[in-house]
Structure 1
Amino acid sequence: MHLACSLWAVAVLCLPVRGRLTNFTLDDTSPVISYNPAPVMQCSPSTCPEPLPPLVPPYNGTSTLVESGVISIPFVGTAVYVYLSVEGACSFNLDGRIIGDAVNHDPISLAFYNDSLSDTAHILTISVVEPKGSIVLDYVVFSHNVRTSRGAIIGGVIGGVATAAILSIAGLLLRRRQKRKQLSTRGIPLGDHWPDKPSIQLMAMRKGEQK
């Protein structure tokens, strides 16, 4: 039993640590996002009216209006999705390379995405194409592999081995208890049929007394 538990523990520890793809959302008001120059206006439920149906309200009720300059968004992940609206045109630059644009994109919705990135650090910049261009940024979503901690795996292994040991000891004690129940007070072995045949029980006890 102990050998099996040890082999199981070693096998688990030798498995590769795998990640789980998780989506993270950056609202336009996130401190991670930088605006240069400062935005013209940042809308909130108290400052900007919500759009009428069927238009969807901004994420968290906020959005940011930019009429010039660059929006910088650092992230770590394998994919990125940008939700905004554009009057005029804007360009998307990922890690120093222009990879897309959007023209007169309205209302706020998915304007750009890239889902074939390496799971490393990236910088996405969004630039207003002047003149008379503007961007209303709502939010950005990026996907990142969240890896399981090796410590969590080791803890799970230790817990599993401890549980197996407890169950093994409990089983051994139960078997000993059942074995003791099958012995009479005079040391005469009793079979499973003993309680059903009192005459056999009496004869066995008398033979024991004669000895």
Structure 2
Amino acid sequence: MHLFCFCSSLACILLLLERTVQGRLVNATIDDQNPMLLYSPEDGWRNSNVPCPSCTARPDPSMAINGSWHDSTFDQNAKNSPNKVRNVSTIFNGTAIHVTCILAKTTTSPFGNSDMSFYIDDILVGQFKKTAPGESGFEYNVTVYSNSSIPSGQHKFTIQNGHVGGIKSLLLLDALVYSYDDGQSDSDDVVATKDMTTTYIGTTIGCAIAGVITGILGTIAFLLYRRRRRSRQLNEHINIEGRINRGLRTPISTISPFRTTQSFSDYHHPPPTTASVSSFTAASNPSLRNADKRAIPDTHRRVRCENTTPRDYRNAEEGLPSVDEEASDIWSCRGTRAEDPEETIHHERIKR
């Protein structure tokens, strides 16, 4: 995006430099006496340098450019070329043209109304119509037409006085001024009457508009790019955290550290009650195993063992008669079966 902005700015600079290298616009004046001007019909125009005692239009020569002018009057009832428009034309090579005239303020002697039409390459490009205020005197150096947007090149320019069937009108042409490119760079001996800034105003405005549009597009593109980049970074951050969490995750143990229920299928002996501990002790002692040769009952059917020895033989602290050391406690273990829930499995006699 920065490269695009740089290229746009460079193009504008090169365009300005190109206009500067080509040269600057210089104004050239075509006086009314210049042979470049063609007046028609010839009898419809009067040269101020030719004496005319009967002419009523008498401006001050000192106020006119080069002290001269050409005048014509369109009149439907004129003796010479009645109801015929008066034209003056020239060929010029440039990009701008301006018309300077003298205007009469009077309404009689002379009749000072104006009715002019302007053509470039036989195309109507402008008109000037004005009613005289009815005062004495004249207006000098009046620009009745100005065009600074003509394509560079050779053009035909025509001024028409009056319209067929139109009102009476007076034209006093003083001079034409056109602008052209002299093809030279600035120098002390070349004086331009038109500021170059005005000449290049179109280019400057175009470059400014292009710069603004480029800046807006660049800002939008930058914001979209930053938003997309931040979204991508956020996604990458989430993925990395996910991989780290998966790597540090401890597998859930399937081994319970505590057993809340007991299954006799996991043990060969009943839960560690007082009776079962005694039974285990007797079973682990060879001398005791010899005293009881019976097979160990099915543990899946045993739930609880109870000491069924009479109390008189189990409590020695109550002052009861002594018991023979060879006497044995009587233990009864009960279990459950699906077909007989309350069946006594066997009796064990364990030596005290």
TM range (shorter): 0.5 to 0.7
Q: Paired residue for 2:40, among 13, 36, 54?
A: 36
Q: Which runs of 5+ in 1 are unaligned?
A: 1-14, 150-211
**SS at the partner of 2:182?**
strand
Q: Which runs of 5+ in 2 are unaligned?
A: 1-16, 74-84, 104-112, 132-137, 186-352
Q: Tell me how far apart the structure 1 counterparts of residues 70 and 169 of structure 2 sit (CA, whole Å).
A: 14
Paired residues in the alignment total 132
Q: Tell me how far apart the structure 1 counterparts of residues 161 and 58 of structure 2 sit (CA, whole Å).
A: 24
- Is 1:76–1:119's contact at 8 Å kept on the other side of the alignment? yes
Q: Which residue of 1 aligns with 2:172?
A: 136
Superposed displacement of residue 51, structure 1: 2.9
Superposed displacement of residue 84, structure 1: 1.4
**SS at the partner of 1:31?**
coil
CA, structure 1 residues 119+50, in 2 after alignment: closer, same or farther (shift >3 Å)? Answer: same
- More relative contact order, 1 or 2 (CA 8 Å, 6+ apart): 1
CA, structure 1 residues 63+46, in 2 after alignment: closer, same or farther (shift >3 Å)? Answer: same
1:22 maps onto 2:26 in alignment = yes
- Is 1:85–1:104's contact at 8 Å kept on the other side of the alignment? no
Task: Give the aligned CA root-mean-square deviation in angstroms.
Answer: 2.8
Structure number with larger C-alpha Rg: 2
Q: Tell me how far apart the structure 1 counterparts of residues 49 and 180 of structure 2 sit (CA, whole Å).
A: 28
- Is 2:87–2:158's contact at 8 Å kept on the other side of the alignment? yes
The TM-score normalised by the length of structure 1 is 0.55
Amino acid at match of 1:128: N
Q: Deviations over 1:112-158 (max 9, x none)?
A: 01001122011111111244222110000000001139xxxxxxxxx
- Aligned pairs for 1:78-97 (under 5 A) are 78-85=95-102, 87-97=113-123
Q: Paired residue for 2:68, among 62, 66, 72?
A: 62
**SS at the partner of 2:66?**
helix
Q: Paired residue for 2:124, among 90, 98, 114?
A: 98
Q: Which residue of 2 aligns with 1:154?
A: none
Deviates more, 1:78-87 or 1:102-111: 102-111
Q: Tell me how far apart the structure 1 counterparts of residues 86 and 45 of structure 2 sit (CA, whole Å).
A: 11
Q: Percent identity between the aligned chains?
A: 27
Runs of 4+ off more than 4 Å: 45-50
Q: Which residue of 1 aligns with 2:261?
A: none
Amino acid at match of 1:51: D
**SS at the partner of 1:70?**
strand
Q: Which residue of 2 aligns with 1:107?
A: 139
**SS at the partner of 1:72?**
strand
